[in-house]
Amino acid sequence: GAVVSQHPSWVICKSGTSVKIECRSLDFQATTMFWYRQFPKQSLMLMATSNEGSKATYEQGVEKDKFLINHASLTLSTLTVTSAHPEDSSFYICSARPTGTGNYGYTFGSGTRLTVV
């Protein structure tokens, strides 16, 4: 149980374009999902908390107008990197945990490797 599907696995885009990444909980509902970014040989840094039906909560230093998060349903959250630039190239990972299951760890999607050229 507790499977999170993330698409695409990788994407290469031109500088200035926008990229959308999807994160779906397949067998559970998630009122809250989390988006992380990981640069090479570094830890996963939390970018934002996605809340179903309300605005996302962004961590300090993360531009909310650049990283648009939409959590339209209990099983889907999307991250759109707008006007991407080479410095946005990174590994983006979403995670979620079934509501009310304190004994479960957070399940991660398989990640999306974004390369901006």
Told to check if 107 binds another protein by CB under 8 A, we report yes
Six-digit token pair at 93?
A: 């990972």
* Single residue of 15, 17, 29, 110 touching another protein by CB under 8 A: 110
Say how many residues touch another protein, by CB under 8 A: 23
| From candidates 49, 70, 82, 89, binder to another protein by CB under 8 A | 49
Q: Is 67 in the site for another protein (CB under 8 A)?
A: no
Question: What contacts 55, CB < 8 A, 6 or more positions away?
Answer: none
- Of 37, 79, 109, 116, the one binding another protein by CB under 8 A: 109
Q: SS3 string of the chain?
A: CCCEEEECCEEEECCCCCEEEEEEECCCCCCEEEEEEECCCCCCEEEEEEECCCCCEECCCCCCCCEEEEEEECCEEEEEECCCCHHHCEEEEEEECCCCCCCCCCEECCCEEEEEC
Q: From 16-24, 66-74, 78-86, 109-117, give the range in contact with another protein by CB under 8 A.
A: 109-117
> For residues 72-101, which are near another protein according to CB under 8 A?
93, 95
Interface residue list for another protein (CB under 8 A): 6, 32, 34, 36, 42-46, 49, 93, 95, 102-111, 113
